[in-house]
Amino acid sequence: MKSTQWPILLILLATFVFSACTPLVQSPPAATQVPPSPMPSPTQEWELPGWTLVWQDEFEGQEIDRTKWTFDVGGHGWGNNELQAYTERPENARVENGALVIEARQEEFVRRDYTSARLKTQGLHAWTYGRIEARMRLPYGNGIWPAFWMIGSNIEEVSWPASGEIDIMEYIGRDATIIYGTVHGPGYSGANGVGSSTNMPIGTLHDDFHIFAIEWEPQEIRWYVDDMQYFKITPESVPGEWVYDHPFFVILNLAVGGNWPGNPDDSTVFPQFLYVDYVRVYQRPDQITGSIGAGPIHIGDIRIEADETSSEWRAVAVITIHDADGNPVEGATVSGGWVGIVKKGETSAKTDAQGIVRLLSDPVEKQGEITFCVTGVSGQNSSYDKSANTSSCAKIEK
């Protein structure tokens, strides 16, 4: 009987030989291999008992929403001897598969060997008190430093650390299981910041998404990972001034190298990715004040009038504060100082319903010039945009 198996065996053998001997055909490797962004598992519902959702970014669009985020750009070390240049290129920050992707790359760029991104809500949105949370999947490796944090919106007027800083989540790659939460203020900043940490199971921070949050009340801040509280502070916990009763804006960034994490080494894999499923801000119903996400405010008008209701005369600085659309802003705090023949007087007050504040100088008898200059403007859920000011000083001469 004639066998019919030999032709089949010969075909299989030929297929194996040619498959084993033929090299795999691949396209040339790109400068940076970019795996597809992971699809986050279903996110939690927005509702939280006792809280009202006032702002959110679920990253469901095609690109980063520039009405919610702006970028820090540059590569000067950022006060920490960091190695990366921050850019606003899509190579370093983009939206993919319903998540924000911040990518740290090893590449030459503007005299730096690494690039990454730092997003912030400064000048667009800021809040006083609330639950601020983000659901994130973290990168890993020596020299890798992702952070989710907040800075006081008055930083341009009072500088750091007087502005206050709240680090909701920091992670350094060499400590693969540890999450840090810290505050920085006058007398307790940098290495002397007041904080704590919590340990997570090995690999879970890189392999899955977790929720990092603070609950910020007038006299207390609490830190959470996946709704498990691990730290809290009160005014009695800090060795200096409590500077956490004014608006703060949010920052998300992925640094490379620096004083704290150290630099990448041969074991560090690039690119590295920080994935952010969402950022949400909640507030207590009785703490929602002003227009949430009111954005930038500025001096719409400033002038000085003379008050001559007595034998002496006084200067009256009249300042009007506007939002980005030119509308008056009620409740903004305006601060400044007097210069000229009188150097004392009222220096700070809140705007009325028309967005106006009136500040009186001390009485003066002699003739001459008086100037008032605004040094700071702050408002609930707003940031001071000095670049939009008509002017910051006004003068009168008699």
List residues with catalytic annotation: 165, 170
Beta bridge pairs of residue 220: 217
- Nearest Cα to Cα of residue 160 among 183, 179, 181, 180: 183
Percentages of the chain per state (helix, strand, coil), in multiples of 5? 10, 45, 45
Neighbours of 240 (CB within 10 A): 15
* DSSP code, position 157: H
Alpha carbon separation from 237 to 242, 256, 319 (Å, rounded): 9, 31, 38
Say if CB 132 and CB 250 are below 8 A apart: yes
Cis-peptide into 23, omega within 30 deg: no
Long-range contact list for 89-94, CB < 8 A, 24+ apart? 89/115, 89/117, 90/63, 91/32, 91/115, 92/116, 92/117, 93/64, 93/117, 93/119, 94/63, 94/64
